[in-house]
C-alpha cells in the first residue's frame, strides 16, 4: 500500500490505495460492496449519499478519512476532521459506550445496524442509524484502523 493511513499529511480523500483498503476490507468482512471500482474513490468521497469515516489504529485514534457526506454531518472540513481524535465525535458520557463498541468490532471484524448519538463541531447532537463499523484490514491481514458508514441521521 503506497498510501500511509497513519501519516497525518497523507491526503486519503481520493487515494486509490486507500479506496482499495476501505472497500476491500468492507467487502471481505461484511460480504457486500461499499462502492464499486467503477464508482471509484472520487464518487465515494464527493457523491456518496451515505457517510463514511475511518480512523487509524493509534491508542487514541485520529480520523484519517471522512467523505463529504460525513463532513457535512459533523460540520468539519477535510483539514479539520483529519486532525480530530475520533473519540471527540461522541459526547463525553457516550465515549465509554463508543469504546466498548469499537472493542467489539475488533473482536468480531464488523458490526451492523449500529445507531447512536454523535456530536458536530458546533455542539449540535444528531442520531445516526443504519450504521456498520468494520476493521480496516488489508489482504495480508495487516490492521490499519476502523471505518464506519451510516445512511441515516437526524438532529436530536
Q: What is the mean pLDDT of residues 99-122?
A: 89
pLDDT in tens, 128-154: 999 999 999 999 999 999 999 999 999
pTM of the model: 0.90
Decide if pLDDT at 96 tops 90.
no
pLDDT confidence bin for 37, thresholds 50/70/90: confident
Q: What is the mean pLDDT of residues 112-141?
A: 94
Distance CA 150, CA 127 (A): 10
Nearest to 61 by CA among 149, 145, 124, 134: 145
Output the pLDDT for position 7: 54
Distance CA 61, CA 98 (A): 12
Amino acid at each position: 500500500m503506497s498510501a500511509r493511513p497513519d501519516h497525518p499529511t497523507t491526503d486519503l480523500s481520493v487515494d486509490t490505495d486507500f479506496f482499495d483498503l476501505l472497500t476491500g476490507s468492507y467487502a471481505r468482512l461484511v460480504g457486500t460492496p461499499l462502492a464499486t471500482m467503477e464508482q471509484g474513490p472520487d464518487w465515494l468521497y464527493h457523491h456518496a449519499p451515505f457517510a463514511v469515516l475511518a480512523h487509524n489504529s493509534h491508542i487514541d485514534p485520529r480520523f484519517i478519512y471522512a467523505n463529504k457526506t460525513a463532513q457535512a454531518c459533523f460540520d468539519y472540513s477535510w483539514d479539520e476532521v483529519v486532525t480530530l481524535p475520533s473519540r471527540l465525535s461522541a459526547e463525553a458520557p457516550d465515549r465509554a459506550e463508543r469504546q466498548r463498541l469499537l472493542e467489539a468490532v475488533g473482536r468480531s471484524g464488523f458490526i451492523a445496524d449500529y445507531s447512536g448519538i454523535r456530536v458536530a463541531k458546533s455542539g449540535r447532537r444528531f442520531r445516526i442509524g443504519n450504521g456498520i463499523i468494520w476493521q480496516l484490514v488489508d489482504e495480508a491481514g495487516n490492521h490499519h484502523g476502523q471505518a464506519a458508514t451510516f445512511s441515516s441521521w437526524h438532529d436530536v
